[in-house]
A and B are shown apart, each in its own frame.
Chain A
Amino acid sequence: MEQFLKHLADNFAINPELLKDFKILKFGDELFIMSKEAAIFKELKPMQRGIRMAKVFKHSSKLSTSSIQLFGKFAKKNIIQLDYDEALRFAQGFELVLRSQPSEIVEGLVIVKYCEFALGIGNYKEGKLKSRVPRSQVLRT
């Protein structure tokens, strides 16, 4: 868990203190974030508690779109800001060629925003932004 929070802090400057009111629990290879009361409820064989935060692999993790849409607003670095049309295409799952090169961005995973709202995670490389919104969640055209 600490490793995951460190990943959020290192890559996006999300302060782990901002998540202190919630509990993050691991079920299988997935992390879920939930209220403290939801974390201690064990009766009735719960199917899910809170929302999916990330899928954890041996040396990395993949943040969920749902969790980024909630907590991405706390990010302070590696953010790409889009206009409405770009944001729409990103939500539809397309790759975008950005009109201007974002400054202070490390190539790789970035948090993509429209106005103050985080849309999800993208992969940024050489001026291109690839949407990582899962197929099941993309906006239908």
Chain B
Amino acid sequence: MQLPAKFINRYQKFIPDFDRFLKTLDTPLRSVIRINTLKGEKEEILRLLSDFKLEPIPWYDLAYRVKNNIQIGNRLEYFLGLIYVQEAASMIPPLVLDPQPGEKVLDLTAAPGSKTTQIASMMKNTGLIVANDVNRKRIRALLTNIERYGALNVVVTNKRGERIGEFLPGYFDRVLLDAPCSLEGMLRKNDHALTRWSESNILRSSMIQKSLLASAFKALKPEGILVYSTCTFAPEENEAVVSFLLEQNPNASIEPFTLPGLITHPALTLWQRTRFHPDVLKTSRIYPHDNNTEGFFVAKIKKAVK
């Protein structure tokens, strides 16, 4: 993969074991499936997958890497909505969010719905998930997935995410903001992101992410949990965004998290002469070469009672 020199210059400064990181980017990712428990019991579904060579994903007992070549989209199990093809790292934000049955959850940028349907499954189809997306075209994919995977607790809305906090302040028990980003972490799956890669794009994304995160935090109940995630390495879109929220809201704090078998790295405290809020250190960076996944950034944010 031909990476821009600027990309390499930026990231060799802080991504550990950088040569192995670069090598991993050139290794294609195998498909990972998530068992959809809204449609059946795990064991029943696994029985149907006897010709799949499956390797368990350590941090989620419903996720498996498919080690043999199978056209999953042509399979009956896919038609039945029993399995969802979803990258293993993309399952992490809902796991950190840890939604409980009966709660009110907001998925602020929900399309195409992999995390929404995962959350629905974790909530056992109870309570409420507001799955919002600003892009009508992408909402079509979201609706298809909600139907296919049988998510009955989802309400789909089409609003600008930046306004939702204003419309529904303090409404949700949990909020997921898997923010639109520069997609650097997805290069193993699709190197399209490189064609649009530039530092100015990163800064533009960062501005949008800050206003989305402010809205997400406003929509959260006191004592509620907000998970902010991106699939990019850019500190401007990760630490800087979370630091901005912490500086603006003294009632926001970061909660560290761990998941079984998942290797994470603490976030940066300093980037290009900008020092971040010290709490940012408790957020997590997930690198492709540590877990054989895409790259992710995840922050678990708690809102205190004022």
Contact = CB atoms under 8 A, between A and B. Distances in A.
Interface of B: 38-40, 44, 47-48, 73-74, 76, 78-82, 102, 104, 125-130, 132, 139, 143, 146-148, 150-159, 164, 167-168
Contact of B150 (A41, A51, A141): A51
A49 interface: yes
Interface in A69-112: 69-70, 84, 87-88, 91
A127 to B, nearest CB: 23
Contacts of B153: 34-35, 37-38, 50
B58 to A, nearest CB: 28
Contacts of B168: 43-44
A35 B81 contact: no
Interface residues on A, range: 35 or more
Interface of A: 21-22, 33-35, 37-38, 41, 43-52, 64, 66, 69-70, 84, 87-88, 91, 114-117, 119, 137, 139-141
A46 B155 contact: yes
A137 B40 CA distance: 20
A34 to B, nearest CB: 5
A69 B39 contact: yes
B79 A91 contact: yes
A139 B79 CA distance: 6
Given A34-B153, A38-B155, A117-B40, A44 B80 contact: no
A18 B30 CA distance: 39
Looking at A70, A119, A137, which has the most chain B CB atoms within 10 Å of its CB? A70
Contacts of B164: 44
B243 to A, nearest CB: 29
A46 B76 contact: no
B76 A84 contact: yes
Looking at A21, A84, A116, A117, which has the most chain B CB atoms within 10 Å of its CB? A117
A119 B152 contact: no
Given A35-B153, A38-B152, 6 more contacts: A35-B125, A37-B128, A45-B157, A50-B151, A69-B150, A119-B79
A48 B40 contact: no
A44 to B, nearest CB: 4
Given A47-B139, A51-B147, A41 B130 contact: yes
B76 A44 contact: no
A64 B144 CA distance: 13
Nearest to A141: B74
Nearest to B77: A117
24 contacts: A35-B153, A37-B104, A37-B128, A38-B152, A38-B154, A38-B155, A44-B167, A45-B157, A46-B157, A47-B143, A47-B156, A49-B154, A51-B152, A52-B147, A66-B147, A69-B81, A70-B150, A88-B76, A114-B76, A116-B40, A119-B80, A137-B79, A139-B78, A141-B74
A69 B157 contact: no
A82 to B, nearest CB: 10
Looking at A45, A48, A91, A139, which has the most chain B CB atoms within 10 Å of its CB? A48
A116 B156 CA distance: 30
B74 A139 contact: yes
